[in-house]
Structure formats: C-alpha cells, structure tokens
A and B are shown apart, each in its own frame.
Chain A
Amino acid sequence: MATFKHRVCPATGLRIHSSAENLIKANAVTAIVFLAVGGLFGLMVALTRWPAVHLLPADWFYLVLTGHGLDVLLVWIIFFEIAVLYFASAILLNSRLATPRWAWTGFWMMLVGAVMTNVAVLQGNSSVMFTSYVPMQAAPHFYLGLILFAVGALIGCFVFFGTLVIAKEEKTYKGSVPLVTFGAITAAIIAVFTIASGAIILIPTFLWSVGLIGNIDTLMYKTVWWAMGHSSQQINVAAHVSLWYLIAAVVLGAKPLSEKVSRMAFLMYILFLQLASAHHLLVEPGISSAWKIFNTSYAIYLAVLGSMIHGMTVPGSIEAAQRGRGYVNGLFEWLRKAPWGNPAFSGMFMSLVMFGFLGGISGVVMGTEQINIIMHNTIYVPGHFHATVVAGTTLTFMAATYLLVPLIFRRELIMKGMARWQPYVFGLGVMGISVFMMGAGTLGVPRRVWDITGADAVLKYDYSGAAYLMMGLNGVSAIMAALGGIMFVVIIVGSVLVGKRTGDKPLEGMTMTTAVTYGSAKDIKIPGTVVLVAVFFTAFVLYYFVNWKYLAEVWPLR
C-alpha cells in the first residue's frame, strides 16, 4: 500500500493520498460554484417576493425559483457531502480511496446531470419547482439530469463504503472508526435509501415525460418523491452533525462526552429519519391519520430524540474541552472565551444554535399532524427549512470549508479580517430569512407565489399589513445573507487560487490535540450546557403548546 501516492499531513500526521485529496477538491469546488449560482437565484426570489421591489416577471420568477431549489438544496449540498464522505473515510482513516476511477466517474455523472437539469430549467419549459409534482410536466432532460446526478452520487456512496472496507483490510487505523466517520456512515446509509427512492419515482416520471407511461398517480408520486426529498435532508442532518463534532475536535480538541450516547443518537437517524416523507402528506386526502401520526413523529419522535441528544453532547463536549483548558469560571466563561474570531468555530456554533432553536422546534411543531393544517404550504415551510438547511447545513459546510482550505488545499486564507465576519453576516441574514418567512406564514402568506396582492385576479384577498412588512424584512435579510454568501465565495475561491501555500507549517486556528481525557467519565461538569439545554427545552415546550392554542382557534373541522 505504500505504493500509492500520498503525503503526510503536518498537523495530524495522517497519510493523505493524492487520489482522495484531488477528489475532495473537485467535489468541494464544484459544490461552491453551484452554491454561488443557486444563492444568486435565491436572492432574486426574495427580491421578487418583497412586494415593494417585485423584481422579476412571473415566468422568470418560477424559473429562477426552480433553479434555486435544485442548485442549493440538491447540487451544492450533495457535491459537498461527497467531499465530506471522502474526507471522513480516506483522510480520517489514514487510508487510500477505493477505486478513484469510479469516484471520478461518479463525479462527472453528477456534474453532467446537474448541468443538464439546469439547462432544462433555463430553457424555460421546466419551471415545475424542485418537487415537480405530477401531472405538471417538465422536459425529459430535466428528469434525466436528476437521474444521472443521483446515480453519480450513489457511486460516490459506494466508493465511500469501499474505502471503509479497504481501510479495515489494510489496518490503517486501530479499533473502531472515529465518531465523525460513524456519522458519515449514517449519512451514506440514508443516502442509499434516498437515492433508491429517487430512482423508484424519477425513472417512471422520466418515462412518462417521453410518453411511454400514460399516467402517474399524484398521491403515489408525492409519497415516494418525498421519501427522496425529505430523506435527502436527513443526509444533511447526519452530515452536518458529524461536521459539528469534527470542527469541535479540530479547533478545540473536544472529545465526545460519551462515544456510546453520540453513536446511539446517530443510529436513531438510520432507523427512523426516513419516515419523514409523511411531513409533506399531513393534509393530503386518501391517507389515514394513524399512518400520518406514526410516520410524522418518526415512530414516537425517536429521530428527534437523536437530534436532541446531539444538541447536548456537541456543546457539552466543547464546554468540557474549554474547561479542561482552564476556562472554569462561572457558567459561561468557556463560551465567552471560545474562538469567536475563527470562522470555522463561529459558523459551527451559530449553526448549532439556529438549527436547534429555529429549524428543529419549528419542524417538530409543523410536523404535528393537526398543527400542519395551519401551516401547510404557507411560507412558514420555507422559513423552517431555511433554518435547517441553510443555517444548519450550509453554514456548517461553510465553516468546515475554512478547515478544508489549509488541510486539503494547503493554502492560507486570504482576507482573514473578512473571513472573521463572514459567518456572522451570513448567519444573521439567514436567521432573518427564517424568522420573517415563518412570521409571514403564520399570517397565511403562501409559498411559491409570484404576487400576493391579487392585483390581476378577478376575486381579491388582502393580506394584512404585517404580512407585507414580514416579506419586506425577508427581502432585507436575503440581501444580507447574499452578501455573506458572496464574501464566502470570494474568500474561498481567492484562497484556493492565490492564497499563500502553507507548506509544512503548523496550521493556524487548529488544536488537533485532545484538551482533556475525561471521555465517558462518571461525572462530567458541563453546567453551562445544562443551562443552554434547559433554555432550549423551555422554548420548545412553550412554542409547541402555543401552536396547539392557535390551532384550537380555527374553524372546527373533521
């Protein structure tokens, strides 16, 4: 195995094989290109939905909205996830990558597929939204591109699994795989389920678009499509939670409080997260309440339990590491003295907080069978998932990129001062987007609509002034988030192209040494985290019951 081309990382002493390194670079760079394109689309969407600005005409609005969903929700995230999978297997396990040629085949299939679908959208005949609900029909190459993309991603998953096998065979690591790799395995298993569901629904839909199949049942389509659509968000959760542990470890030397508890929490994801297709079917005809209740709650909220556990163990491990370093005063000295100027840390911690408070709580509330009646398809829904997918996943991926640049691209960051601020600008913008869309949603504003004034409609409905205000504030927040996104792309692309080579110098902002050796001790002192978790739990319970109250006020129906 020494015959494979590799270098030794100056920070970790791990062997880094050039096959893995090049693939991580290619996938990460492609991801960021699509983030830039999709993010720009997103800004145009928000500016159109700002009633006072109303940027685009209707046909362009729906075209751009379709492209926005595809490019950021699917293409950016999955490309980056493939990079994460290769990192968590080949790099962390000190191994070569299995079948790099297959990995490159997968990469090119994903790229060709992503471009093909984008072309279909830009041609204008496929403005069917990311969800492409039948019987609305897109051009055949819209579906074909998605299928190619999915098969490419599936190949990436199998390269990841193959790498795990090779690493074990060649004994490149001792004992069990690290927690981060364990989390990545979770993500990859969910990805296989997700892509299989995608194939089951997209292949017949493609055949229908070319006329070989006569009819596709709308309810069947939605049920299976969301087994892909929602599960792919669960890949994101597993991946970004893994990266929380990774960043905490690299930046602060944090060690999981308990390997057992954190791994059990990941296991919950594998077993239960995929039931979430039901979240999209709660006000659908033809499905029983029993099915809805069981599935929407991930079988008694067991996957939510997994996330709530990570919600304590991630900050808990950070607190323990900081206390081990001597920040022991009061409840929160460990948090105050955290490296808030390091964008990898600040991005990660903001992501943790916003994913929990905004995305997690709103998701559970909205996914309650009856409460969904007052939220389904309102703009509350995008408010929720911008908190999970943008504040959660995208912000974490950005934070992780600040580590990838020195570790994998071996470049120093350019514009360090701007990098310091980038997570705050982006994070605050996204927080605004989420909060204001949720606010507008509770006032009834629908999602995915070009105009809410009803100016050209025969019959009218007037939304309240507050709804207009919320949509305006959403537009302002989107400008801020876009600014943060542009800062990110400029810093990263600039660093990769012209950043100073790091050579074999020790890396700035990274600890890489374990701060404490408390792992799995009987008693761990994390009082600050206990307080944070208590605040979170109180907010959760209050918001949950407030929404039952809102529901109780609408017209009785059964």
Chain B
Amino acid sequence: MGIHSPPQRNWWKEPVARTEIVWVVIAFLWGLIMFSAMIYWHAVGEQNLSNESYRITPELFSAKTNAMVEKYQVREEEGFPVVHPPAGSDVYMIARLWQWWPIIEFEKDQTYRLHLSSMDWQHGFSLQPVNINLQVHPNYDMVVTLTPNEAGEFGVVCNEFCGIGHHLMIGKIYVTEN
C-alpha cells in the first residue's frame, strides 16, 4: 500500500500496465500540443503580448503624456481631457492613485501604440467589456500596439489592488467610427 514500503525493493524494474503507459503518452502529447499552440499563435494569432517595453521615470512619462494632451485634446469630460490622437501615433495613458489619465478616443480599425506606465504603485489596466488585462508598473513603459475593432464606449478598470481608493480608479476609452 501507499503507506508501506514497496514489496519489492527494485520497484523501478517492475513492469507497468498498458493502461498507464497509454495515458502517460497521451498526456505528454497533449502537453506538446498546448506548448506548440502558444508558439503557433505568435505566428498566426492576432492577440499576442507585447515584448516592447522601456525603463522610464514617472517624470519623463508624465511629460510625454502632457505633450500628447496639449497637442491632441479635443474636449473635456468630468475634468478629464479627451484626446484624439492620429492613427499610428504613440498614445500615452498614465496610471496613478486613483485615475487613468487622460480619456482617449481611438478610431475604429486604426492601429495605435499605447504606452502604459504608473506614477506610483502597480496598477492593472483592464479594458471592459473587451476584457484585455495588462499589468502596469512604475518605471516601466509598456508599449502595446492595438487595433480597436469595434466602436463604442469602454471602461478602463484598475484590477491590481492599489489602496483604499482602488475601486474609484476607472478610466475611459472611446472608439469612433471613421
């Protein structure tokens, strides 16, 4: 039994039942398939993780964001600037206690380089209801090249615990028909 020493000391030489061998082989092959699926998706899939990121200071990231807001602001909502940057451009979104700043307006089916970084603690960029979730660190500038493929109003919820006001940290992204 499992609580007794094996009856034969050389248990590693005992034959193994076919049922077990078959299952081990199937499970191993399934592992290979799942492993290959991730590599395959990098080749053909449209949703892959960014490998592009840079070290940056909060000051520099903040300066870049401010420059973008100055250049492309189109209106204001609830005290937040709304920016409408041109397709293909670098777009910055600041995560800080407890807001996503500014509000961004994308055009449908256009591609943008979205930069994310935190001014203080870690935050979680959670685009809803699309359900794209990314971790945002201070001192790291994460670049995600994304192509919104539906128009509408989207929420950016923080899903990394960031203190007592965590639940207030909701931002906004608009996608307009072009």
Do A and B pair up? The answer is yes
A300–B35 touching, CB < 8 Å = yes
B155–A461 touching, CB < 8 Å = yes
A218–B132 touching, CB < 8 Å = no
| With A259-B6, A519-B7 as contacts: A541 and B1 at CB distance below 8 Å | no
Chain B min CB distance to A394 (Å): 21
B contact residues around A364 at 8 Å (CB): 34
Chain A, residue nearest B125 (CB): A283
A555–B80 Cα gap in the complex (Å)? 25
Chain B, residue nearest A529 (CB): B19
Secondary structure call for the B interface: mixed
Chain A, residue nearest B149 (CB): A555
B78–A459 touching, CB < 8 Å = yes
Given contacts A452-B167, A520-B17, 18 further A-B contacts (CB under 8 A): A58-B164, A219-B140, A248-B2, A260-B11, A288-B51, A293-B35, A300-B35, A304-B27, A309-B20, A373-B133, A376-B133, A446-B126, A523-B17, A537-B30, A551-B45, A552-B47, A557-B132, A558-B146
| With A446-B157, A448-B161, A530-B19 as contacts: A556 and B37 at CB distance below 8 Å | no
* B85 interface residue per 8 A CB criterion: no
B167–A58 touching, CB < 8 Å = yes
Interface residues as binary, A94-137 with B (CB distance below 8 Å gives 1, 0 otherwise): 00000000000000000000000000000000000100010110
The 8 Å CB contact of B15, one of A62, A254, A460, A522, is A522
Which listed segment binds B: A174-182, A334-342, A346-354, A488-496?
A174-182
* A370 interface residue per 8 A CB criterion: yes
Q: How many residues of A contact B (CB 8 A)?
A: 109
* A327 interface residue per 8 A CB criterion: no
A284–B135 touching, CB < 8 Å = yes
Interface centre among A217, A263, A554 (most CB of B within 10 A): A554
B contact residues around A301 at 8 Å (CB): 30-32, 34-35
The 8 Å CB contact of A218, one of B26, B139, B150, is B139
A contact residues around B122 at 8 Å (CB): 133, 136, 218
Chain A min CB distance to B92 (Å): 14
The 8 Å CB contact of B31, one of A173, A300, A556, is A300
Chain B, residue nearest A57 (CB): B164
Chain A min CB distance to B140 (Å): 4
A554–B130 touching, CB < 8 Å = yes
* A211 interface residue per 8 A CB criterion: no
* B14 interface residue per 8 A CB criterion: yes
A250–B1 Cα gap in the complex (Å)? 8
A contact residues around B16 at 8 Å (CB): 258, 260-261, 520
30 contacts between A and B (CB under 8 A): A133-B121, A175-B5, A246-B3, A255-B2, A258-B17, A258-B20, A297-B38, A302-B31, A312-B23, A369-B38, A370-B45, A370-B47, A373-B133, A376-B134, A446-B158, A448-B161, A449-B167, A450-B166, A457-B169, A458-B80, A459-B171, A461-B156, A544-B34, A555-B132, A556-B47, A557-B47, A557-B132, A557-B144, A557-B145, A558-B145
B contact residues around A458 at 8 Å (CB): 78-80, 99, 168, 170
A450–B8 Cα gap in the complex (Å)? 57
A-B pairs with beta carbons under 8 A, tally: 317
* B142 interface residue per 8 A CB criterion: yes
Residues in chain A within 8 A of chain B (CB atoms):
12, 58-59, 62, 92, 129, 133, 135-136, 173-180, 217-219, 245-246, 248-250, 253-261, 263, 282-286, 288-289, 292-293, 297, 300-302, 304-305, 308-309, 312-313, 316-317, 364, 368-370, 372-378, 442-444, 446-452, 454, 456-464, 514, 519-524, 526, 530, 533, 537, 540-541, 544, 548, 551-552, 554-558
Chain B min CB distance to A8 (Å): 16
A180–B3 touching, CB < 8 Å = yes
A514–B28 Cα gap in the complex (Å)? 31
B contact residues around A248 at 8 Å (CB): 2
| With A300-B31, A446-B157 as contacts: A259 and B134 at CB distance below 8 Å | no
The 8 Å CB contact of B159, one of A249, A377, A533, is A377
Chain A, residue nearest B3 (CB): A249
The 8 Å CB contact of A250, one of B3, B120, B140, B170, is B3
B contact residues around A544 at 8 Å (CB): 34
Secondary structure call for the A interface: loop
A289–B51 touching, CB < 8 Å = yes
B121–A305 touching, CB < 8 Å = no
> Would you list which residues of chain B between 9 and 54 have a CB under 8 Å from chain A?
9, 11-12, 14-20, 23-24, 26-28, 30-32, 34-35, 37-39, 41-42, 45-51, 53
Chain A, residue nearest B147 (CB): A556
A254–B4 Cα gap in the complex (Å)? 11
B23–A533 touching, CB < 8 Å = yes
Interface centre among B15, B137, B140 (most CB of A within 10 A): B137
The 8 closest A-B pairs by CB, nearest first: A461-B155, A301-B31, A446-B159, A285-B142, A285-B53, A245-B2, A520-B14, A556-B46
A309–B19 Cα gap in the complex (Å)? 11
A contact residues around B159 at 8 Å (CB): 376-378, 446-449
A451–B145 Cα gap in the complex (Å)? 31
A285–B135 touching, CB < 8 Å = yes
B149–A175 touching, CB < 8 Å = no
B47–A297 touching, CB < 8 Å = no
The 8 Å CB contact of A454, one of B20, B77, B103, B167, is B167
B146–A523 touching, CB < 8 Å = no
B contact residues around A260 at 8 Å (CB): 11-12, 14, 16
The 8 Å CB contact of A461, one of B7, B42, B51, B170, is B170
Chain B, residue nearest A447 (CB): B159
A442–B131 touching, CB < 8 Å = yes
Interface centre among A175, A316, A442 (most CB of B within 10 A): A175
A contact residues around B41 at 8 Å (CB): 370, 548
Chain B, residue nearest A557 (CB): B146
The 8 Å CB contact of B167, one of A370, A374, A457, is A457
A283–B48 touching, CB < 8 Å = no
